[in-house]
Amino acid sequence: MNWGNKILIGFSTFVLAIVAMVYIAMKQNNEMIDDNYYENELKYQDKIDASKNLSKLAEKISIKDSGNFLQLHFPLLSVNNNPVGTIECIRSSDQKKDVKMQLHTDKEGAQLLPKSLFMQGMYQLRVSWSNSGTSYFHQQALNIRP
């Protein structure tokens, strides 16, 4: 094989590799975690203040895996007067698998989340609520297992 054929094979391999990379890049999903990311970023100080309000309480949010449900237990002082809020479980790999619901705790400050709503994998749990004029916010990673 002469040097001309080697150059042609090398150049052809390079072009095929570039075409394959472009094809793979075009198939990637480029979603943002939040639809209104920039608007939410401007309100970030409110989340910091709400997180500080939660950290002042003696109790912390706890999460237990109880078979077919995830049990979120909130500090009683933060949910004692009919709190209003949302629970978001965000799947960064696929926005269609996000789970969003309203906060409805029982008298002991617990809420059950059915595991049937989730796919196996990592989620970002975000809980924001207000109770008696005080805002609270909690965020943590959540690994859902069958």
pLDDT at 80: 86
CA 47 – CA 66 distance, rounded (Å): 29
pLDDT at 33: 67
pLDDT at 32: 66
The residue among 46 and 29 whose pLDDT is bigger is 46
- Domains contained in the chain, number: 2
77 and 100 belong to one structural domain:
yes
pLDDT at 101: 93
69 and 4 belong to one structural domain:
no
Whole-model pTM: value is 0.74
87 and 61 belong to one structural domain:
yes
CA 14 – CA 33 distance, rounded (Å): 35
User: Considering the chain, what is the average pLDDT of its residues?
Assistant: 89
